[in-house]
Chains A and B, each alone.
Chain A
Amino acid sequence: MMRRRAWITFCLAALCFGFLPALIRSEYFLNLFLMFFLYVTVAQSWNLLGGFTGQISLGHSAFFGTGALITRLIWTAGVPIVPALIAGSLSSVVLALLVGVPCLRMRSAYFPIGTLALAMIAQITVANLFPLPGSLSRGYLTGYSMLSRYYLALLVAMLTVAVVYWIVRSRTGLALVGIRDDEAAAEAMGVRTFKHKVFALMVSSWLVGLGGGIFAYHQVSYYYSAPFELSWSFLPTLTTFIGGLGTIAGPILGAACFLGLSEIFAISLGEVHLVVFAFTFILVVLFVPGGLMSISTKIRSLTARIARRATRV
């Protein structure tokens, strides 16, 4: 029942976004939607680790950046984009295994600052190794098609949502939320918690690495350290918390709000949307741990109750 509804929503979304470019030709809107897909990818992959497994990472910019860096280097060396993307995302997983896994050995309350430190190390190191911006050469520019970027980003976003949904509904997903709620209790019920956390981290870094690859494929010219900027760690944390931690729809909703606000304010006031989002984030952490999603379920149950009372009368 639940499963069928999710399936239908998923297919409808694929159809709508698939045919959108036929209706909207504006480069601006295609760009906007591409950013939406990218934000959804980043936030949803973060959600698997932070929302469902309870390991709040402030280091996802390192995995995003690695995916971008390797994809870009391989792609601009002449390899087609799809293999480059796969290689890039896998290198994010390798980084996660090398440096992220040790962080999981820390007390989990320290995981956020441990991963933050890693993200800063990665950013500084890449900025030092690649001080110049990487621009596409003439050959790549003449063949540049917005549509192929749009569809690849859509594909990656749909893949991310599908993978996270599938994991969360599986046996493993049950263990992950158990770890989030009480690690020692999960362990006492036979869950090998460390192994599961490593799994969540690997999948999360793989998906966010794909997102990084999309960034590399989309941007014409950028400093190689740009996708390593800490904002790529902060963004998924903000949007997922505000949308609804540990729900599939939450990060999507959060990403949409973030993008919408930033577009509205971009015209007039620069970074106001970040101020609004930071403030909302604090309020959510303090007062509404379920984010916008919990507000919507509360409203729904409230209206249901009112409707029931109305029919009874």
Chain B
Amino acid sequence: MATLLEAQGLYKFFGGLTAIKGVDFHLNEGEILGLIGPNGSGKTTLFNLIAGVFRPDRGSIRFGGRDIAGAGCADVCQMGLARTFQITRPFPLLSVLDNVKLGRAYGSKPARTLSLAETEAIEILDFIGLGTKRSTGAGRLGLIDRKRLELGKALATKPKLLLLDEIMAGLNPTEMEAASNLVIRIRDAGVSIIIIEHMMRAILKLSDRVMVLNTGEKIAEGLPGDVIADKQVIEAYLGVDTHDAQS
């Protein structure tokens, strides 16, 4: 299996705070990598480094063989790397359809014409279950639909690699089940995925491999079953950050 994404010696400082501390990892093509860790451990920051929001202060990130550390968000997206935001970011004044259409018109493999983009956007909306709400204003969606739309917007850019940041937070068990199945279908369509999630059950079910961050450092990596039995991981969740593990 070829390596799609590879990061080495990543560091990110915010003033005096070291948000990411010497993280190395890689992702194979067609793989789902679970990323877990207590609140504030740097998961979202790691996504921001990969997606080009921040330039890493040290270290390299290679995506499909090219160095992308410090490339802008738009460039990274056009290379085929899409992300969802933990706090969803729809375009509130646009319709649901236009939200997704924007991804088909730009992104990594833009549709040739705008009407083609529209047709393909409708397909994506049907796929994520928003087909009937395509003309609703995105600012008026409820939480679950906002999560769906966030996923749809990312998918619309036709990524090779998808970064999912807590898309299941706030869903009930049935909705979570549906979301897990959606993630698997996306992977089966040939998209590699890194997924941040707090719900262990979902992570165990979905991930081929799991990586654990704690205060910016990678403390464990491996098969899901092995990682949750790891002493350091249990300590990180239960010993130090009891409150986070509960919440």
Chain A interface residues toward B at CB < 8 A: 170-171, 174-175, 177-178, 180-182, 184-193, 246
Contact = CB atoms under 8 A, between A and B. Distances in A.
13 contacts: A171-B106, A174-B105, A175-B106, A177-B91, A181-B93, A182-B90, A185-B85, A185-B90, A190-B74, A190-B78, A190-B103, A190-B157, A246-B93
Nearest 3 pairs of A and B residues by beta carbon: A181-B91, A190-B77, A190-B106
Contacts of A181: 90-94
Interface of chain A, main secondary structure: helix
B43 interface: no
Interface of B: 51, 53, 72-74, 77-78, 82-83, 85, 89-94, 98, 101-103, 105-108, 110, 114, 117, 153-154, 156-157
Contacts of B156: 189
B74 A178 contact: no
A192 B94 contact: no
A189 B94 contact: no
B74 A187 contact: yes
A49 to B, nearest CB: 16
A177 B93 contact: yes
Contacts of A184: 53, 73, 89
Contact of B74 (A170, A177, A191, A246): A191
Contacts, number: 80
B230 to A, nearest CB: 33
Given A171-B114, A177-B94, A180-B93, A186 B102 contact: yes
Contacts of B98: 174, 177
A192 B72 CA distance: 9
B114 A189 contact: no
A189 B85 contact: no
Contacts of B77: 187-190
Contacts of B89: 182, 184-185, 188
